[in-house]
Amino acid sequence: MDHTDDGGGSRPDPKTPGNDNHPDRLAKQAVRAASLGMFLDGFDLSIMAIALLPLRAQWRLGAGAIGNLMAAALIGSLLGGLVGGRLVDRFGRRALLLPNVALYALGAIVSALSPDLTALWIGRFVVGFAVGMDYPLVATVVAEYSAEGDRGRGFAGINVAWYLGAFASTLLGLALLRFGPDSWRLMLGAALLPALVLLWLRRSIPESPRWLMRHGSHTAAREAMQKLHPAWGESKMTDTLASFSGTVRRTAILFQRPWRKRLVLGLVPWTCLDIVGLGIGLYFPLVLRMQGLAADNTAAAGINAAFLLISTVGILFIYRRLDRWGRIPLQIAGFALMVAGLLLFAFGITTHEVVGVYTGAAVYSLGTGIGPGVTAMALSVEIFPTELRASAGGLATAVSRLGAAFSAIVFPRLETAWGLPVVLVLMAGVSLIGAGVTRACPIEPAGHTLEALEDHGR
């Protein structure tokens, strides 16, 4: 049975022989190649968490220096999101596919060869800037190139790629710790390899027919659509392209009714997720060591990998359910589990119950996987118009990374001043805000085409 997507695409019958050569293969390859950009972000943030273990000892970094260094990539992501989103909407989805990755590779090299803290901060900032530009690009490509009934799977795939990157870098960090005090240089430089692979995979992604139609390039849009869906007939091609047409609106409408409510939904939950998730994730191995929960750096890195795996299991659980169950219910449920996990984690630290600590961390990790770890990015782009989709995603990236940078800077200071349990309770409160905002703005993209979602906002 033929299934028409929001771009008119068809989902082939998995039982059909020769399905590896289905006519929409290039569209699916484009989604996968773009999504692997999130592998780099997961790889980078998690390798930095491991690299901090030998780096902190070698350079004798205090809490303030650690916070400032860990915030460098997040500040870069903030600015990169703002710049990247506007560039992608202005010049097209292909414009940044390769430059982003090349800039990431440059930042990795600078970081690995840094002679001092200032140079390392600059390298980390460049890496973050590249990742920030990639976020709205990747989210927009997944939204616009995926079949309507598969968008949820596409966004789940993004986050599986993120966690695979995080898991791979954690294992790599474990292996490289044996090289001693300078092992952090090898860890940060290792990001160059996946960056080169991604450059190769992205080289043939075509431009988005939606973007081309919205900007009046009808002939180019038809050519791009023919590449993505070569088996389509003339009538289907014409009707689908016509549905992509529309008036180009200015960014200012995002701050007007009815788009303002969507902007709140796109920005606030993702910001809450990053305040909590990156604040904890960046320091989790170090917290394990300082709390006496891991015997050495290798054990801390291994435990960190185990909890990353739990989040990945959560994403895989909702992979085929996200388009049926919806983004909003799963995001609320995910935040609720994060609240419960963080409170149990805090209780375990206070009472010195190791079982409570690990159970709380597991519940928290599962919550991020089944909920906002996937849904927050999807909501940041799906519910906005084509010509502003990347800009909205870029703004969400910037605001969320501002929260993450703030968390990275203050987390070690607050832990020193107030203790870890108090910080975890505060993080639970932030997660509760994410759940509340999601419930107050229940705009559900599942089951709707991108064009239908635009019409609902007019």
- Tell me the domain boundaries of the chain: 24-456
Q: What would the pLDDT profile of 270-279 be if each residue is shown by its tens digit?
A: 999 999 987 7
pLDDT at 1: 34
Question: pLDDT > 90: what percent of the chain?
Answer: 45
pLDDT at 148: 76
CA 218 to chain centre: 32
Rg (CA), the chain: 22
pLDDT at 338: 97
Site of tokens 């309507």? 148
Q: Which of 192, 186, 152 is nearest to 54 (CA)?
A: 186
CA 344 to chain centre: 26
> By mean pLDDT, which of 11-25, 92-106, 422-436 is the weakest?
11-25
Across the range 130-146, mean pLDDT stands at: 91
Q: What would the pLDDT profile of 187-214 be if each residue is shown by its tens digit?
A: 999 989 889 988 888 888 889 999 999 8
Question: What residues have CB less than 8 Å from 239, skipping those under 6 apart?
Answer: 8
Residue 234 — pLDDT band, cuts 50, 70, 90?
A: confident
pLDDT at 23: 55
Residue 405 — pLDDT band, cuts 50, 70, 90?
A: confident
**Which region holds residue 340: left if phi is over 0, alpha if psi is between -120 and 50, else beta?**
alpha
> By mean pLDDT, which of 4-8, 126-130, 259-263, 299-303 is the weakest?
4-8
Q: How many helices and strands, by DSSP H and E, does the chain display?
A: 21, 0
Q: 316-343: b or e for each residue (b if 16 or more CB lie within 10 Å)?
A: eebbeebbeebbbbbbbbbbbbbbbbbb
pLDDT at 257: 80
pLDDT at 54: 92
How many CA atoms, within 13 angstroms, populate the side-chain half-sphere of residue 361? 23
Q: What would the pLDDT profile of 235-293 be if each residue is shown by its tens digit?
A: 888 988 888 887 778 888 888 887 899 999 999 999 999 999 877 777 787 788 878 88
- Decide: 43 and 169 in contact? Cβ < 8 Å: yes
Residue 62 has pLDDT above 80, yes or no: yes
Tokens matching residue 262: 């969507």
Instruction: Tell me the backbone φ, ψ of residue 449, rounded to 5 degrees.
Output: -75, 160
Across the range 425-435, mean pLDDT stands at: 96
CATH number of the 24-456 domain: 1.20.1250.20
Residue 123 has pLDDT above 90, yes or no: yes
Nearest-5° Cα angle at 431, 324 to 381:
50
Q: What would the pLDDT profile of 350-359 be if each residue is shown by its tens digit?
A: 998 889 989 9
Residue 17 has pLDDT above 80, yes or no: no
d(CA 273, CA 279): 9
Q: Considering the chain, what is the average pLDDT of its residues? A: 86
User: What single string gives the DSSP state of each residue in 161-208?
Assistant: HHHHHHHHHHHHHHHHGGG-TTHHHHHHHTTHHHHHHHHHHTTTPPPP
Tokens matching residue 118: 């200032």
